[in-house]
Structure 1
Amino acid sequence: MRRLLAVHAHPDDESSKGAATLARYAAEGADVTVVSCTGGESGSVLNERFELGHRAARDMTGVRRLEMAAAQAALGIGHAWLGYVDSGMPDEGEPLRALSFATIPLEISGRPLVRLIRRLMPQVVVTYDQTGGYPHPDHIRCHEVTMWAVEHAAAGLPELGEPWEVQKLYFDRSMSGARLHALLTALEATSPDDDRLPFMREWAERLGTRGDTMTTRIDVGAHLDARDVALRAHASQVDPESRFFFWPNELLRQVWPTDDYELVRSRVQGEPQEDDLFAGVEED
């Protein structure tokens, strides 16, 4: 049985980063689980078209739990809450929310993830790199917690269950300069008057060579629609006219039909470039 665990900071992150990969492996029969480290309760409504703003004002936690359940169903995956409070994104010089995820010592906040890894026994874990993908304190902490938990799940802490060694650990690299430049070139060729092009050129320049350390490209062309359904399920956060949907899926399938990753830790033999997160993995 193949088992994949993806560790994310907030509900909606799993749908904007590698969701089609999750849908593909789940459809192929793998046991796929997403962990949301926080409940996203410190977030604001980011979608001006969101119809339940009055409800979010009263109960953002409840709204985001319902959205996560809908996204989970769209992807066909399992889900677990790590149980921490969203730290928010305070202005420079402002403190983080008291007792939130990023404020809790790593040796405490990592323990529930150790227990979960030992219970689920994933061969493969996916998370963010040390930058968090962007500098939200919960994304950075998510990276730190995942690295700590993968290490400590393999040995010690007997009160948290039987040891389990993850065979492969990946960082998400789907937002890469190479991908954006390829899509931009295709859009310029097919739609030279598209009013999105100036923004996309600026975005491509800003990304530069970001993500050029990718080692693994997963063909997800058949699962992009499931990703879109999952993204739209997070209606408080995702505007259906936002940049998440800039690229028609048909264009993605022709130009860049993959989710991309960097293999950063492996206990198995493999090739320098892969097309499968489970390449070389010993299944049980």
Structure 2
Amino acid sequence: MTGSAAGRRLLLVHAHPDDETIMTGGTIARYLAEGVDVRVLTFTLGEEGEVIGDEWAQLVADGGADQLGGFRILELSRALAELSPDGQPPLRPEFLGGAGRWRDSGMAGAPSANHPRALVRAAFDEPVGALVGVLTEFAPQVVVSYDASGTYGHPDHKLVHEVTAAAVARARELGSGPVKVYESVTERSALESGLARVVTVPDNWRMPQDGELPSYPDADITTEIDISGYLARKVAALAAHATQVTVAASGTEYALSNNILQPIASAEHFILTEPERHESLGATDTRESDLFAGID
């Protein structure tokens, strides 16, 4: 571990297996390689995911074996291993409240939201209290979550955002909250340039329509993490989530079950929400290139 990384602790909270890799896989790989103590905390097992292909199609919840969540623990374990440095024990998955405590709620309006263990049905203080416990025990300086819209409107993503905000506030009252909180987002120009570089659209895939993929104006982005040295790890981790993600032969694009092409960028983008930029963290008008900027 380098001197600058010693004592650094990073917590990334996600709703379902595969979110960690899609949104923050390169960041996870980079900070693990730099010797940072990284933890990935997932709220559900992703039981309501739409399975790609036939091999595992009967694991689904709706009319199937309802075993997808357990299989996705395996996929998450494989993905985190791909993101971990060679020669070191792989990062292991962690689940809020333990694996299976809360269940994937499904998309807005889905009947799965009525399941008694659905995350959206949890008494709000229960996941908040569980996350406060993680924050006080682990004491990360940096926490990464979602934006208020839950990236693309998924009820679980939105709730993760709300739970994280409440837990951070409560942990700070207890004297153990993080210094910085980020929202993981997509930069508009990175999305557009990635789409412009597409040479071949795989069979049965399609390009996204204008505005179909969520993104933020460049001016809103506060932090850009260069993951160019870890792209191969991110691509391998995406491929590990094979029930949910298909990686193009080029290794530069992927698609979910909707077969809408999405580029794999060489940087991951964030918006610093707490604290707002100020001189005590060495803030400038330029983007941060390190989630721990101003802390050391």
- Assess same fold via TM > 0.5: yes
Shift of 1:270: 2.6
TM-score normalised by L of structure 1: 0.81
Q: Does 1:88 align with 2:102?
A: no
CA pair 99-243 structure 1, distance change in 2 beyond 3 A: farther
2:270 matched to which residue of 1?
A: 261
In the alignment, what sits opposite 1:270? 283
Mapping of 1:160-239 within 5 angstroms?
A: 163-173=175-185, 175-187=186-198, 191=199, 194-195=200-201, 199-200=206-207, 202-206=208-212, 210-212=216-218, 213-239=220-246
| 1:161-207 C-alpha deviation (Å, 9 max, x unpaired) | xx41201111112x2321122223444xxx5xx457x954x534445
Q: Does the CA contact (< 8 Å) of 1:22 and 1:32 recur in 2?
A: yes
Structure 1 residue matching 2:150: 3-state secondary structure = coil
Q: 1:167 to 1:78 in 2, by over 3 A?
A: farther
Letter in 1 for 2:283: G
Q: Aligned partner of 2:238: which letter? A: L
Output the aligned Cα RMSD: 2.8
Name the residue aligned to 2:141: 123
How far the C-alpha of 1:78 sits from its partner, in A, is 4.3
Do the aligned partners of residues 24 and 93 (structure 1) sit closer, same or farther apart at CA in structure 2, a change above 3 Å counting?
Answer: closer
Provide runs of 4+ in structure 1 moved above 6 Å.
none
Q: Distance in 1 between matches of 2:293 and 2:176?
A: 19
Instruction: Report how far residue 53 of structure 1 moved.
Output: 3.2
CA contact (8 A) 1:177 1:204 kept: no
What secondary structure sits across from 1:20 in the alignment?
Answer: helix
| Structure 1 range deviating more: 238-247 or 112-121 | 238-247
In proportion to residue count, which structure has more helix? Answer: 1
Number of residue-to-residue matches in the alignment? 260
Partner residue of 1:68?
76
Partner of 1:165, secondary structure, is coil
Corresponding residue number in structure 2 for 1:100:
118
Q: How many angstroms does 1:72 deviate by? A: 1.6
Change over 3 Å in CA distance of 1:274–1:95 after alignment to 2 = closer
Q: Is the 8 A contact 1:176 1:207 kept in 2?
A: no
Aligned match of 1:160: none
Residue pair 1:2, 1:123 contacting (<8 A) in 2 also? yes
Q: CA contact under 8 A between 2:113 and 2:121: conserved in structure 1?
A: no
Asked if 2 retains the 8 angstrom alpha-carbon contact of 1:88 and 1:96, the reply is no
Where relative contact order (Cα < 8 A, 6+ residues apart) is larger, the structure is 1
Matched, 1:11 2:17: yes
Greater displacement, 134-143 / 258-267: 258-267
- Unmatched runs of 5 consecutive residues or more in structure 1: 157-162
Q: Judging changes above 3 Å, is the alpha-carbon distance between structure 1 residues 32 and 211 closer, same or farther for their aligned structure 2 residues? A: farther
CA contact under 8 A between 2:148 and 2:162: conserved in structure 1?
A: yes
**Which structure 2 residues correspond to residues 137-176 of structure 1 after superposition, within 5 A?**
137-156=155-174, 163-173=175-185, 175-176=186-187
Q: Distance in 2 between matches of 1:168 and 1:126?
A: 9
Encode CA deviations 1:93-118: one digit per residue, 9 max, x unaligned. 98532331112122222111110111
Mean CA deviation greater in 135-144 or 262-271: 262-271
- Measure how far apart 1:51 and its partner are: 2.5
Return closer, same or farther for 1:41/1:195 CA change in 2, 3 Å cut-off. Answer: closer
| 18-27 or 89-98, which deviates more | 89-98
Q: Distance in 1 between matches of 2:249 and 2:68?
A: 21
The share of aligned pairs that are identical, in percent, is 34
Gaps of 5+ in 2: 1-6, 85-90, 255-262
